[in-house]
């Protein structure tokens, strides 16, 4: 059972625009001392709400192969081995397509001529800073890079190194391998769902993913309409725990569009998200708290 002082909650959504970042940011802000990790490395935006004072910046690099033409005999074993098509034999010599390389190191190991070495290539950057009591860790993948997984791995290491406090992981949208990496060590997956057919379709995929990973999970129904909600019907039908219902709310949308953290702007939202945080702790840690 997780302890609320160091519980890790991954916040996911099947698609972009459901309100996943609004939920992650406001839960981290209302939790007091906490860590917010933005794993949406292709489009990180949580820092826009927090506006953290940056204390460190770190480049993230991967290793890619370099071929020594003087040693290579063109046997093409490396080309046949690479499952990512990052190597091609051109004029009897392998050529490396660096942006397709997944840095597995296999080609270097199997080259009979020892013609392959590795060099580092920067793929992005991590910024760490603070906003009030929240430690904000943001990863940003350089444009055109194949995968943000090395940045996500490093982000999660940085988050785990902090003092004991709740960690909120703002995952990439969808259900791709970057999402899998983001939820791997989470104690709980919080799925944010909007009441549209597209939203429910993608929610089903991400729900299947968290089940495959054997993660405990619950749902926040966001942008709830006044009448029936097909997202709620789906949850009820499948026995999925609903932690909260956030009504469709122009004011919350307006605050977010101005990159304002709602719980720091309005007592109403502070109470609303404090209640969600309380429910979350009860669900994740089976611990009753009185948070006001």
Chain residues that interact with ligand SF4, rule: CB under 6 A: 65, 67, 72-78, 81-82, 84, 86-87, 94, 101-107, 111, 113, 115-116
- Rounded to whole angstroms, the Cα distance separating 271 from 274 reads 5
Of residues 40 and 181, the one with the C-beta less far from ligand SF4: 181
Containing 177, the helix (H) or strand (E) segment is: helix 177-183
**Min CB(100)–ligand SF4 separation in Å:** 7
- 273 to 4, 12, 73, 214: CA distances (angstroms): 16, 17, 63, 27
Which tokens go with 63? 């290793």
**Min CB(69)–ligand SF4 separation in Å:** 9
Of residues 62 and 240, the one with the C-beta less far from ligand SF4: 62
Containing 189, the helix (H) or strand (E) segment is: strand 188-193
Of residues 87 and 262, the one with the C-beta less far from ligand SF4: 87
Q: DSSP of 251-269, one letter per residue?
A: HHHHHHHTT--HHHH-HHH
Of residues 62 and 276, the one with the C-beta less far from ligand SF4: 62
**Min CB(201)–ligand SF4 separation in Å:** 33
Of residues 29 and 86, the one with the C-beta less far from ligand SF4: 86
Of residues 111 and 186, the one with the C-beta less far from ligand SF4: 111
- C-alpha dihedral sign at 78, 79, 85, 86: positive
Containing 201, the helix (H) or strand (E) segment is: helix 197-212
Q: Which of 273, 33, 222 is nearest to 130 (CA)?
A: 33
**Min CB(111)–ligand SF4 separation in Å:** 3
- Rounded to whole angstroms, the Cα distance separating 57 from 59 reads 7
**Min CB(80)–ligand SF4 separation in Å:** 9
**Min CB(98)–ligand SF4 separation in Å:** 9
């Amino acid at each position: 059972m997780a302890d609320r002082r160091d519980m890790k909650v991954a916040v996911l959504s099947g698609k972009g625009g459901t309100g996943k970042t609004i939920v992650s940011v406001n839960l981290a802000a209302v939790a007091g001392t906490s860590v917010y990790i933005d794993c949406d490395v292709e489009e990180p935006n949580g820092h826009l709400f927090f506006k953290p004072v940056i204390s460190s910046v770190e480049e993230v690099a991967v290793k890619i192969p370099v071929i020594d033409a003087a040693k290579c005999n063109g046997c093409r074993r490396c080309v046949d081995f690479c499952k990512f098509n990052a190597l091609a034999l051109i004029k009897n010599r392998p050529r490396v397509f660096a942006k397709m390389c997944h840095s597995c190191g296999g080609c270097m190991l199997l080259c009979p001529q020892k013609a392959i070495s590795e060099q580092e290539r920067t793929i992005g950057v991590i910024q760490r800073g603070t906003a009030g009591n929240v430690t904000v860790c943001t990863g940003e993948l350089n444009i055109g890079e194949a995968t943000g997984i090395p940045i996500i791995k490093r982000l999660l290491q940085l988050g785990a190194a902090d003092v004991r406090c709740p960690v909120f992981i703002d995952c990439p949208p969808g259900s791709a391998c970057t999402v899998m990496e983001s939820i791997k060590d989470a104690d709980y997956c919080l799925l944010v769902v909007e009441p549209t057919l597209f939203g429910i379709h993608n929610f089903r995929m991400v729900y299947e993913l968290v089940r495959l990973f054997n993660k405990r999970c619950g749902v926040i129904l966001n942008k709830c309409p006044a009448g029936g909600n097909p997202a709620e019907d789906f949850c009820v039908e499948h026995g999925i725990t609903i932690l909260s219902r956030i009504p469709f709310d122009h004011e919350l949308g307006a605050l977010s569009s101005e990159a304002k953290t709602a719980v720091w702007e309005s007592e109403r939202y502070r109470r609303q998200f404090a209640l969600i945080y309380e429910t979350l702790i009860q669900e994740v840690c089976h611990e009753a708290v009185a948070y006001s």
